[in-house]
């Protein structure tokens, strides 16, 4: 029992250490707290610090859909000599890990959405929003094409297509939500995220170095009238504060934040009820109904001014995403990343990102989107809002920040819907 309590405390508090590391060292800040959470989790899982159980236990676990074995089955295995008594505590740990990362994610999503003011962003619909629409089209087309190219390269390619449509449209929270919606096992999810991070890192480097010069040579130049008058207070609130966790424990912030957390728990509970209401014959849609209902309720709650104005809800949501990332990564083994199909997976992810970027570029050329709006909306969709100021700085054009953030906001909202819909459409092929 003591080990289980320590495990829970570790998962819930270690992200504080990661946030401190990122704040203290600029190099780690570039990697990001989420990247560090996955890295530390992988180290824990690969090094065997968190026990995985006997070979017989693991074999029995992989032959069933549930994350854990029921006690009757486990006791039978032990009596037959196929498992050992120590597997009982391992089985409980596995159950705790699953409960932590599912609850953390379901509660996180409404918190991430509470601060998104869609009405405010929509009034800025100019050239940049045409680019946002073209980016959506490019992502859907290239992810779908990738599905048909690599359809037989690895199992359940339709799930991969749905997840990468979700992360391309939204970001890591959508990627994590689609893991639950599409029932992707934790080990495979971590492999996907790790490869995605590697491919994405190359793309980020391209965006902040030579990309501005290349795209400005191909697309029309940015005109100030196509941009948006810069609201310095808005930019500061929506960009610099995305990874600023300071001040969360001040009384004036903490009390409203706890109320927001309570509302998010209620929304997650409502979504959880749907999981049990959906008939068993439609069990493959149970988690989809749960997560999409939570997303929808989170969006509706964000339209209520008193909720939308609560400070630090996004940061609290991201903290829970860190808890999710650390927990789910710790269930995996880094050695499984270097197995069969690794090259195909890297090629598939590269196709989704680079292919979508190239198609978006072609469409931008046709519709005469300027280079700066093109690049900032591409950034918003491929990497989400936190990267927008970084690329805007490389462009030396702060006027496109609002457009980029607006694109990222729309991506967060649409990611779960687009990813789920595309996945189940492709499942039939």
Same-domain pairing of 45 and 110: no
Residue 12 has pLDDT above 50, yes or no: yes
Q: What integer pLDDT is reported at residue 259 of this predicted model?
A: 95
CB atoms within 10 A of CB 382: 25
* pTM more than 0.85: no
Q: Where is the domain boundary, 99, 118, 136?
A: 99
Q: Can you tell me the mean pLDDT for 100-128?
A: 76
CA pair distance 135, 141, nearest whole angstrom: 10
- What percentage of the chain exceeds 90 in pLDDT? 23
Confidence of residue 205 (pLDDT cuts 50, 70, 90): confident
CB 297 within 8 A of CB 267: yes
Same-domain pairing of 109 and 78: no
Same-domain pairing of 268 and 329: yes
Interior angle at CA 357, CA 356 and CA 359, nearest 5: 65
Confidence of residue 356 (pLDDT cuts 50, 70, 90): very high
CA pair distance 260, 319, nearest whole angstrom: 14
pLDDT tens-digit series, residues 301-351: 988 989 988 988 988 988 998 898 888 888 777 666 555 557 788 889 999
- What is the number of structural domains in the chain? 2
Q: Which of 18-22, 155-159, 184-188 has the lowest mean pLDDT?
A: 184-188
Same-domain pairing of 128 and 74: no
Q: What integer pLDDT is reported at residue 227 of this predicted model?
A: 46
Average pLDDT, the chain: 81
Same-domain pairing of 67 and 180: no
- What percentage of the chain exceeds 70 in pLDDT? 85
Q: Can you tell me the mean pLDDT for 241-262?
A: 83
On the 0-12 / 13-18 / 19+ scale of CB atoms within 10 A, 260 is buried
Q: Can you tell me the mean pLDDT for 351-357?
A: 92
Q: Can you tell me the mean pLDDT for 230-250?
A: 62
Q: What integer pLDDT is reported at residue 230 of this predicted model?
A: 47
CA pair distance 38, 127, nearest whole angstrom: 37
More confident residue, 224 or 416: 416
Q: Where is the domain boundary, 84, 99, 114?
A: 99
Same-domain pairing of 227 and 304: yes
- Domain of 23 in residue numbering reads as 2-99
Give how far the C-alpha of residue 89 lies from the chain's centroid of Cα atoms, to the nearest Å: 30
Same-domain pairing of 48 and 114: no
């Amino acid at each position: 029992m003591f080990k289980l309590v320590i495990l829970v405390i570790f998962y819930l508090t270690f992200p504080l250490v990661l946030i401190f590391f990122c704040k203290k060292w600029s190099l780690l800040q570039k990697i990001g707290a989420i990247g560090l959470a996955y890295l530390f989790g992988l180290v824990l899982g690969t090094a065997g610090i968190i026990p995985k159980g006997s070979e017989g236990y693991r074999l029995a676990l992989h032959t069933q859909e549930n994350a854990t074995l029921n006690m009757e089955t486990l006791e039978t295995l032990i009596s037959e000599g196929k498992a050992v008594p120590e597997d009982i505590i391992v089985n409980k740990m596995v159950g705790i890990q699953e409960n932590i990362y599912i609850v953390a994610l379901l509660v996180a999503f409404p918190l991430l959405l509470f601060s998104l003011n869609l009405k405010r962003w929509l009034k800025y619909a100019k050239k940049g929003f045409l680019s946002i629409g073209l980016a959506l089209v490019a992502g859907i087309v290239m992810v779908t094409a990738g599905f048909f190219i690599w359809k037989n390269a690895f199992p359940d390619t339709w799930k991969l297509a749905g997840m990468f449509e979700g992360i391309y449209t939204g970001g890591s929270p959508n990627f994590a939500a689609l893991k639950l919606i599409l029932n992707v096992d934790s080990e495979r999810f971590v492999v996907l995220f790790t490869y995605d991070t590697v491919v994405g890192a190359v793309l980020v480097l391209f965006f902040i170095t030579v990309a501005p010069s290349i795209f400005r040579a191909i697309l029309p130049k940015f005109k100030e009238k196509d941009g948006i008058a810069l609201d310095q207070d808005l930019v500061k609130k929506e960009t610099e504060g995305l990874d600023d966790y300071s001040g969360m424990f001040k009384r004036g912030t903490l009390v409203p934040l706890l109320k927001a957390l309570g509302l998010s728990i209620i929304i997650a509970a409502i979504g959880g009820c749907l999981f049990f209401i959906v008939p068993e014959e439609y069990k493959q849609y149970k988690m989809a109904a749960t997560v999409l209902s939570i997303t929808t309720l989170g969006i509706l709650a964000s339209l209520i001014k008193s909720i939308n104005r609560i400070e630090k809800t996004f940061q609290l949501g991201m903290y829970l995403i860190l808890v999710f990332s650390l927990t789910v990564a710790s269930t995996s083994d880094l050695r499984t990343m270097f197995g069969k199909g690794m090259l195909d997976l890297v090629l598939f992810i590269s196709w989704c990102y680079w292919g979508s970027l190239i198609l978006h570029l072609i469409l931008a050329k046709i519709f005469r989107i300027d280079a700066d709006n093109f690049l900032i909306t591409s950034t918003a969709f491929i990497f989400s809002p936190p990267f927008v100021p970084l690329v805007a700085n490389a462009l030396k054009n702060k006027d496109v920040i609002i457009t980029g953030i607006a694109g990222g906001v729309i991506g967060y909202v649409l990611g779960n819907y687009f990813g789920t819909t595309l996945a189940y459409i492709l499942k039939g092929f």
